[in-house]
């Protein structure tokens, strides 16, 4: 299966420490409606972060498919 995005730096995937990833999202948020990122849980499709207050008039969010992963601890 094809994976989305580059390999994930293990330093960015620290449970409970989201400081760096939040800084990245804040920087992107100033210019984008959404952000598609690789998943630290290795979810093959990655994650989509939508900034609702940044959506432009006429923007559409459509869920084409959904998957409810069974994440194990």
pLDDT digits over 13-57, tens only?
A: 777 778 888 888 888 999 999 988 877 777 777 788 899 999 999
User: So what's the pLDDT on residue 59?
Assistant: 95
Q: How far is the C-alpha of 29 from the C-alpha of 18, rounded, in Å?
A: 16
User: So what's the pLDDT on residue 71?
Assistant: 63
Query: Contacts for 39-42 with beta carbons within 8 Å, 24 or more apart?
Result: 39/8, 40/8, 40/12, 40/13, 41/69, 41/71
Listed in order, strand segments (DSSP E) in the chain are: 34-37, 47-50
User: So what's the pLDDT on residue 58?
Assistant: 96
Residue 1 banded pLDDT, cuts 50, 70, 90: very low
Q: How far is the C-alpha of 55 from the C-alpha of 57, rounded, in Å?
A: 7
pTM for the model stands at 0.65
């Amino acid at each position: 299966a094809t994976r989305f995005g580059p390999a994930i730096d293990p330093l960015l995937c620290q449970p409970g420490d989201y400081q760096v990833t939040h800084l990245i999202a804040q920087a992107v948020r100033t210019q984008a409606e959404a952000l598609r990122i690789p998943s630290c849980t290795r979810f093959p499709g990655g994650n989509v972060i939508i900034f609702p207050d940044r959506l432009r008039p006429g923007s559409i969010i459509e869920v084409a498919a959904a998957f409810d992963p069974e994440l194990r601890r």
